[in-house]
Amino acid sequence: MLFQILKLCSALLLLLLFLECKCTKQPHITVKPEPVKDTVPTKFEPDPFSSLVEMDTEFGTMKIEIFFEAGEHRANFMKLSKNKFYDGTMFHRVIKNFMIQGGDPTSKNAKPKQRLGANSSGNEQVAEIGNRYYHIKGALAAARSPDEVNPEKKSSGSQFYIVHGSQVSDEQLDKNERELGIAYSPEQRKLYKLMGGAPQLDMNYTVFGRVYEGLNVIDSIATLMTDGNDRPERDVKITVRVVRE
């Protein structure tokens, strides 16, 4: 009798162990890892052949490289910067999600609500529009008169703009490639989609530099309240220092 009881207990124990294992066992599920998302760049390494300047504002400093390839624009901008031409001028035209524009010498002593943007240092610059640099956020380009009076797309003698930009899609870039006969590199496409920009300006204005550090300063200026002429209600003056010629 005792032997039968022990045998029954052993059977019950084995059954309990079996049920426990069966209940706790989980099916094997392969979890696909989430793709690593690219982070939005906050600064870049300038090219060793670029000239470097720093543009001070009350919102911080933008560190800017001036491209070697745009030789005439580079020489002109560096000359004006060394001669302190830009010091005390202001960003006189600001459009959120588009650009911030400066370089009008009459902005130095402008009265409140005075309309600005009609003046420059003098002679226009011959266009140096290439297919290497585009209007990705932070791009530094030369302002100019519209095509109707300036079919050669000549640049202002001193006025410039820095791209703030909006979101960019592959469809926009594909359209530009078809219509303008250009080909964006994978890196350019990646930066356009990560950072935004103004691809509608590509191949129409001379891009001669970029902000490589201090991109947040563009955001601060581009989001200021403006009047009916896109002039900030708060004057944003600049000082430009040459760091490397």
Tell me, what's the pLDDT at 2? 47
pTM of the model: 0.86
Tell me, what's the pLDDT at 18? 47
Phi-psi region for residue 199, left (φ > 0), alpha (ψ -120 to 50) or beta?
alpha
Tell me, what's the pLDDT at 97? 98
Burial zone of 123 (CB within 10 Å; 0-12 exposed, 13-18 middle, 19+ buried) = exposed
Tell me, what's the pLDDT at 208? 98
Q: What is the CATH number that goes with domain 51-244? A: 2.40.100.10
Q: pLDDT tens for residues 176-196?
A: 999 999 999 999 999 999 999
Q: pLDDT tens for residues 75-84?
A: 999 999 999 9
Across the strands, what pairs with 207? 141
- In the block, tokens 């600064």 appear at 43
Q: In one letter, which amino acid is 235?
A: D
Tell me, what's the pLDDT at 207? 98
φ/ψ of 176, rounded to 5, equals -60, -45
User: CB under 8 Å, gap of 24 or more: what pairs does 55-58 form?
Assistant: 55/86, 55/238, 55/239, 55/240, 56/238, 56/239, 56/240, 56/241, 57/91, 57/217, 57/221, 57/236, 57/237, 57/238, 58/236, 58/237
Q: In one letter, which amino acid is 202?
A: D
φ/ψ of 149, rounded to 5, equals -110, 0
Q: Which parts of the chain register pLDDT below 70?
A: 1-37
Quote the CA–CA distance of 66 and 217 in Å, as a whole number. 18
Quote the CA–CA distance of 66 and 69 in Å, as a whole number. 9
